[in-house]
Every structure is written in C-alpha cells, then in structure tokens.
Amino acid sequence: MSDSKVHPALTINNIRNFISITLEMENGQYTSWAELFQIHCRAYKVTHHILPSKSESSKAPKNDDPEQWACLDAIVLQWIYGTISNDLLHNIIKPGATAEQAWSSLSNIFRDNQNSRAIYLQHQFSNTRLENFPNISSYCQELKMIVDQLANVGVKIENPQLVLQTITGLTESYEVIRTMIHQTNPLPEFYEVRSRLLLEETRKRNQSSTTATSAATSLHITTLNRTNHPPPPHKTTHNQSQMNATNLNRNNNQQYRGRGRGRVRIGYRRGRGRFDYSCSQTFNSSWNAQYPSPYGNNSINQWNSQS
C-alpha cells in the first residue's frame, strides 16, 4: 500500500462487536441487519464496496490503489460472511466474489417474489394473536418481525396500523388497557404500547402469585388446626337419652309381662301368691337407675327385707 496511513477498516478485529444480529432466512431481520451494516461501513469508510452508486467521491476508487481496494473489499466480504447464517452463506458464496456481489445476492434473496410474500405476510400480520404466544414480549416481537419482513418486500406498515393490530390481538384479560390505548389520541408509539403491556403483564403475574400464596397459607393453617385440635368425642344428646330410657322401660315391661290377662303385679307370680324377691330386686335396680328415690337408693330394698 502506497499510503502509510492505516485505514480504519483494518482496525476491526471482530465484526460481532458492532453487528450482533445474525441474518437468517426466516427471522425477518434483513432490514435491521442491512441498516446496521451500512452504518458500520459509513463509519469505517468502505460504503463504496457494497453500494458503488452511493460512494463518497473523496475516497479513492478501485483504480487509484488496486491493492488497497482488494484488501478492503476482502475485509468487507468477511464482515458479510461473518454476520449471516450458514444456510445463507452456502447460497451466496462464490469463488472470487466481491463484497458488492454478496450484498446484491442477499438483497435479491430477501426481496424476491415480493407480491406473493407481501400477501402472505399481510395475512400473517392480521391473524397474529396473543393467545398463541407465551407472553407479551414474544407476541410483540413476532409483530415487529412481520413488519420488518413486509418492509423487505416494499410494504411499509405505519405506527398507527401496528399499534391497532397489537391491541386487537390481545386477550380479554387486557380489555381495560386495550380500551385506554384505543382512546388515546394520537395513538402512542409501538414501543410505548409494548412497555405498557409488559407492565400490565407483570402486575397480573404478581397478583396471581399473591392470590395463590394466600390460598396455600390458608390451607396450611386449616390443616394445622385440624391436626392440633381433633374433633370432640361423640356426645349423647338429650333426645337420645330419652329414647334409651323409653326402650329400657319397654324391655322391662315385656320381661315381666305374664301369660294371663293383663299385667302381673310387680314382684308376684301367678300361683300360690308367693313373692319373688329375685324379680323384685331386678326391677328395683332398673327402677332406681332411671328414677332415683328421694329417700335413698336402698329404701325399697329395706322394705323388701322387712317384708
């Protein structure tokens, strides 16, 4: 090289530090990638290697220093190859190709069949819904990628149209914020809408987490109360006591009912009029248990012994 001054492009060691996007066939980032690449080329004075018609007249053309031009063109070609996917690389790489040829090949790939691709992308843009994505970030990113792909085929989506489609595809749980954004005049920028939706999503997530935590805490406390305070033992109610006493009286009456007419007098048997003390004692015990005597439990027994 005849010029002792080092060209700025020669100082770049890693193009990934300046262009972090990897251009792929279906990621819809060609417009963003191309813009970043052109900015980088302008900053390091090599724009004429990819866009000769827009080159700066003050810069040395190919014929002034062929050796330096070839060196810089190879560097720009390395930048292109280093920021695209393997599939695209295999499609555009050719022996002896220049940076301008590689740049034109990429442009033709992403802008080929513009009408067909535009119809398909517009249909995809109109039918994008939040319910098909895990979160707001993925949903908004998909919409932005479709808009970029449409720009690649010459269809420009303005901000109001993008914002309206974004809030139209929301689920019913975002009805309040959708109405607020729709009633804003003029409509906010897409990135502002995205920030509001992300904030609303975070609020809903925190609210759901708090509700779930409260429910789990209540369940845990209820379980502890049941473990530490078992239910009281079964108690016989007053009605049950009365029923038991009635059944006992009925059984006693049936036990001492004779075969003849009517009821046999308590303590006596048919026959010779003898008094059955065993029968009388059994009845006294049952009677005293149900109806205690005010004169003591042994009053009837004492009378029986005296008799």
93 and 150 assigned to the same domain: no
Domain count, the chain: 3
Helix (H) or strand (E) holding 192: helix 190-228
* Tens-place pLDDT, residues 287-298: 566 556 555 555
Query: Does the pLDDT at position 134 exceed 80?
Result: yes
101 and 128 assigned to the same domain: no
Among residues 207, 233, 262, the one where a domain terminates is 207
Whether the ω angle into residue 292 lies within 30 degrees of 0, i.e. cis, is: no
* Tens-place pLDDT, residues 86-126: 999 999 999 999 999 999 999 888 877 778 888 988 999 99
Q: Are 23 and 85 in contact (CB under 8 A)?
A: yes
Q: Are 89 and 25 in contact (CB under 8 A)?
A: no
Q: What is d(CA 44, CA 46) in angstroms, rounded to the nearest whole number?
A: 6
Q: How many other C-beta atoms are found inside a 10 Å radius of the C-beta of residue 103? A: 21
Residue 12 tokens read as 């770049």
Among residues 207, 242, 260, the one where a domain terminates is 207
Query: Does the pLDDT at position 271 exceed 80?
Result: no
Rounded alpha-carbon distances, angstroms, from residue 265 to 44, 256, 269: 131, 9, 8
Q: Which of 213-217, 233-237, 301-305 has the highest mean pLDDT?
A: 213-217
- Quote the pLDDT of residue 207: 83
37 and 55 assigned to the same domain: yes
Q: What is d(CA 105, CA 109) in angstroms, rounded to the nearest whole number?
A: 6
Domain encompassing residue 180: 114-207
